[in-house]
Chain A
Amino acid sequence: MTTTREEILKRIRSAKGASSPEQAASAYAGIERGYQSSASLARKEILHLFEDRLHDYDANVYHAGASGVGEVVAGILSGRGVHRVLVPDGLPSEWQQGAEFVVDRGFSSAELDGFASVMTTATLGIAETGTIVLQTAPGQGRRAVTLVPDYHLCILPAGRVVETVVEAMRLLESTKNIPTTFFSGPSATADIEMTRIKGVHGPRFVDIVLVGEE
């Protein structure tokens, strides 16, 4: 008896002829990639663009020098009236100032729901789209911690901001098996009369701290 798998593969092969990994590889090499792949702006302009795009998506942007992150964090948290913050393992302790910080110990979904705020760092920022890339890594945690709380404070060293999506994808190439989440601003929907509504299921409020430039 042939399995469904064999039957579908047979249908595919009879539809367009069988192919081999070698044939696929040699044809693949011929695919044109003429699109923009590297930065076209100066460093300063890239950071400005990133900030503009983040504002477009209703995220707030703050700045801090390499040694002053904790102070800036404390200021933001007190301004928002936040007293208790969830953090993943591996987040620099000197950043954790101005509130009670609770390290994620693999909390259940219901326990995560008990946290209104989370603070993490991120792998990358993409200026042209105002996007931040999170991965399952120290300081960033598992995917659920940046999803369930309503407020996300993200600390990103400015040196990790690139201009184009393509640059970002190439930097991520070496860690492409790790769960990776791109986010651009807070959760949003435009399903009701195309009016953009900030925040539906993910964090409704996002603040970014850009840490010192080289």
Chain B
Amino acid sequence: MSRIPLDPRTAPPFQAAAKALLGDAQLRKNVRHATDVIQNKRRKLVEEKQDWQLLRESARQIRAHALQHLDVYLDEFERNFTRAGGTVHWARDAAEAQRIVVGLVKESGSSEVIKIKSMTTEEVQLNNALEAAGIHAYETDLAELIIQLGEDQPSHIVVPALHKNRAQIREIFRRTMNLPDLGDKPADLADAARRFLREKFLRVKTAVSGANFLIAETGGICIVESEGNGRMCLTLPDTLISVVGIEKVIPRWQDLEPLIQLLPRSATGERMNPYNSLWSGVHPGDGPRAMHVVLLDNGRTNVLADSEGRETLQCIRCAACQNACPVYRQTGGHAYGSVYAGPIGAILTPQLMHMEHSQTLPYASSLCGACYEVCPVKINIPEVLIHLRNKVVEQNGWYTPESLAMKAVAAAFRSERRFRAAQRLGRIAESPLVKSEKQKFSIVGQKQTGNTGWIGWLPGLLGGWTDTRDLQAMPEETFRDWWEKRGKA
């Protein structure tokens, strides 16, 4: 049941991947439907909270503060979690996290694990590493189960299988659970999953999770979910291993006040998650006997070092930005080539990759600002996108075709003689490409004005521009020419 994970190091550029996905009408319909539903619920429940902006501001300050003092709070979390009977491990990168978890699972004496949906374990491609070590991982979140059984890839941070409709899910379950007579009502499908997983919950003795928050003050862990699969995993097994990004720590219990209000309303349009679990360490007679937290860096300290990109780490993974993003809503998540899709993925993934991979992601945005508006912790995603575009340009140096073209344009703009010559040349060069006004507008029936046309196709490298938009042709007479003629008249 292994599958090829989304890997930013080998993923095609966003624009190429998106182009292919735009042809999948079913996927686009599924994504559009799901994001519409979530956005409408979210809007209603956010309007219900009179103090929404105050909650956002408080949460932003808490998250920024935690990052500013991250060394202090990680140290405090480690001390308190250890005192409560847990063990803390540290992982520099994905390979180290994989090694630690595989080692702990083997130590637990199990060759199977049950998993709560976790972005960090997707990020470090844990399932493949477990499989390679002969350990079978069962995803227990319904959407993650659909993805796993369908040998698919997650498409959304909160609702990973939103790109599949009920008929597609039914096919996957019929085939992999050997249920030829399975119905296609959502309740039938959920029931099949319940029966399939219950046996695993009761049998498998080791669980792997992520975490939504780590609380430094108590050495506490907070996991929010809706199905109860999370509670099963963190309550019934003997061993629980949680892989958590170092940025997830918050200072105090009190800080949950705004965070657990903002998260459910932003993520799925719920007033509260159906289940929130909060605990610290090991509790005799209640829950696992051994508890491990793997604190994961994997590029996060690199993001922290960039004062303009740092706010990316404030993210609480609600995915409101994904649902609001006009680009994501057209392509779904797979085009991003990363488990973090949508606007947050467009800024997080390239930074986690030290700006060496996913360089097209900062361009996968219209900079419309919808993501910033809905972000519960006020991450200014458009500003970070622009900052990262700058970094990409700087890194690519001055010898790309684009920068050479820009240099040529700059040279033309610096001299009146060269500028006028370029305008004349341009008019001659473009003439075979210009569509008439009639061609352009007769289809949509808009009013025809002026006599200038549009260019829908440019040759060679310039084609990158017209692939996604038309270019207005140059005017027949420039303002300068007109001004001079007017002076003479």
**Residue numbers in B under 8 Å from A170 (CB-CB):** 254, 257
Contact with B301, one of A11, A129, A177 (Cβ below 8 angstroms) = A11
Does the CB pair A109–B283 fall under 8 Å?
no
Chain B residues whose CB sits within 8 angstroms of the CB of A182 once the complex forms: 260, 272-273, 275-278
CB <8 Å contact, A202 and B231: yes
* Residue B108 interfacial (CB < 8 Å): no
Instruction: Let me know if A93 is at the binding interface, CB within 8 A.
Output: no
- Residues of B256-300 contacting chain A, CB below 8 A: 256-258, 260-261, 268, 270-280, 283, 285-287, 295, 297
Known: A192-B169, A194-B34, A195-B186. A34 touches B232 (CB 8 A): no
Closest CB pairs A-B (n = 7): A202-B228, A15-B305, A11-B301, A129-B272, A142-B286, A187-B228, A201-B228
Q: Which stretch from B189-197, B336-344, B422-430, B476-484 is at the chain A interface?
A: B189-197
Q: Which of A21, A128, A190 contacts B159 (CB 8 A)?
A: A190
Q: Are A169 and B202 in contact (CB under 8 A)?
A: no
Given A19-B71, A179-B287, A189-B227, residue A31 in contact with residue B62 (CB < 8 A): yes
8 interchain pairs, CB-CB under 8 A: A11-B305, A16-B68, A27-B69, A35-B51, A109-B201, A109-B236, A184-B271, A190-B268
B90 touches A24 (CB 8 A): no
Q: CB < 8 Å: which of B84, B91, B140, B201 contacts A177? A: B84
Among the listed B50, B220, B246, which residue makes an inter-chain contact with A36, where contact means beta carbons less than 8 Å apart?
A: B50
Q: A4 and B304: CB pair below 8 A?
A: no
Does B387 lie at the interface of the complex (its beta carbon under 8 Å from any beta carbon of A)?
A: no
**Which residues of A in the span 124-183 have a Cβ within 8 Å of any Cβ on B?**
126, 128-131, 136, 142-144, 147-148, 165-166, 169-170, 172-173, 176-183
Q: Confirm or deny: A5 has a beta carbon within 8 angstroms of a beta carbon on chain B.
A: yes
From B17-25, B53-61, B327-335, B347-355, the one touching the partner chain is B53-61
Tell me, in angstroms, the Cα distance from A3 to B246 when the chains sit together.
16
Q: How far is the CA of A193 from the CA of B29 in the complex (A)?
A: 11
Q: How far does the alpha carbon of A109 sit from the alpha carbon of B237 in the complex, in Å? A: 9
Q: Are B275 and A187 in contact (CB under 8 A)?
A: yes
Tell me if B285 and A169 are in contact (CB < 8 A): no
Q: Which of A7-23 contact B (CB under 8 A)?
A: 7-9, 11-16, 18-21, 23
| Residues B283 and A179 in contact, CB atoms below 8 Å apart | yes
A32 at the interface (CB under 8 A from B): yes
